[in-house]
């Protein structure tokens, strides 16, 4: 579904200090203009350059201090470095800290509020005459399909109990994005793990549905996938390949 493109693009990252956002950023830095909106810029630099955390960012990387729930901060990020044009892609992988004692997030509506703020900021940017129609890539989770059971039956209790709060939050984020007039792709990874060092890359299976049209195009069900494989798929298939617009894709091994 994708084709190879080598054109340099402008990417805005929301949540780049997390597992997926950080890895997509690493893939992107060699070729594209990258803007990151983060609460703690020094944390991002320490993750990008662990051996030299005080490194100066490369010229194609702009790190902005701010909050992905703040419309003014989002407007600043959306117009950097080009104040007259919106970025080509927005990679949203924001999330909250999970508290096991409460089986909840520090902010139970973190993704929902983030998507609401992003869409409002895009609307305000266009009202100011700023052009562009970014492709929003939202990192979600399996288990949210309304068209088929996209998780193994053994994992249903996990998503309905332990992971219910982030699960509901991701569902609201999806609902808001899919109902918008923006360009979008929803990425639903299965339970994510960190691949062991030197582990051979596994084949990524992709389930595909059209939530707007109510069609399942391909069914895939699985237990786990590595964060690196999810990030590599997003970069190769969506950013470089420019594919999967208007689709919710479930990724698993």
pTM of the model: 0.94
Q: What is the pLDDT of residue 104?
A: 81
Q: Write down the domain spans for the chain.
A: 10-252
Q: Which residues of the chain have pLDDT under 50?
A: 1-5
Q: How far is CA 151 from CA 56, 125, 161, 222, 230, in A?
A: 43, 38, 14, 6, 17
Q: What is the pLDDT of residue 198?
A: 59
Query: DSSP state, 85?
Result: B
Q: Mind spelling out the 3-state secondary structure of 101-121?
A: CCCEECCCCHHHHHHHHHHHH
Helix (H) or strand (E) holding 33: strand 33-38
Question: Is 194 exposed, middle or buried, given 0-12, 13-18 or 19+ CB atoms closer than 10 A?
Answer: exposed
Q: How far is CA 237 from CA 6, 137, 190, in A?
A: 12, 11, 18
Beta bridge pairs of residue 137: 91, 185
Q: What is the pLDDT of residue 53?
A: 73
Q: What is the pLDDT of residue 199?
A: 67
**Domain 10-252 sits in CATH 3.40.50.720:** yes
Q: What is the pLDDT of residue 98?
A: 81
Query: In terms of Cα–Cα distance, which of 138, 132, 78 is closest to 114?
Result: 138
Q: What is the pLDDT of residue 3?
A: 44
Q: How far is CA 160 from CA 32, 57, 142, 144, in A?
A: 39, 42, 12, 11
Q: Which residue bears the tokens 């798929």?
A: 233
């Amino acid at each position: 579904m994708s084709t190879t493109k080598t054109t340099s693009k402008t990417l805005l990252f929301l949540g780049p200090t997390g597992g997926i956002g950080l890895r997509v950023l690493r893939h992107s830095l060699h070729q594209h203009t990258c803007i990151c909106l983060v609460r703690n810029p020094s944390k991002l630099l320490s993750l990008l350059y662990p051996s030299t955390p005080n490194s100066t960012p490369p010229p194609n990387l702009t790190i902005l201090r701010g909050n992905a729930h703040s419309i003014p901060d989002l407007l600043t990020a959306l117009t950097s470095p080009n104040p007259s044009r919106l970025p080509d892609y927005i990679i949203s992988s924001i999330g909250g800290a999970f508290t096991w004692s409460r089986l909840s997030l520090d902010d139970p509506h973190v993704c929902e509020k983030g998507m609401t703020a992003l869409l409002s900021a895009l609307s305000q940017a266009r009202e100011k005459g700023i052009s562009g129609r970014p492709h929003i890539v939202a990192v979600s989770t399996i288990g949210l399909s309304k068209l088929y059971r996209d998780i193994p039956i053994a994992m249903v209790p996990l998503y309905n109990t332990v992971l219910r709060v982030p699960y509901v939050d991701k569902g609201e984020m999806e609902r808001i994005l899919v109902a918008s007039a923006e360009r979008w792709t929803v990425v639903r990874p299965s339970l994510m793990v960190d691949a062991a060092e030197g582990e051979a890359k596994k084949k990524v299976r992709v389930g595909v549905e059209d939530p707007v049209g109510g069609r399942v195009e391909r069914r895939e069900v699985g237990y786990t996938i590595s964060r690196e494989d999810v990030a590599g798929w997003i970069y190769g298939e969506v950013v470089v390949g420019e594919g999967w617009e208007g689709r919710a894709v479930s990724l698993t091994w």
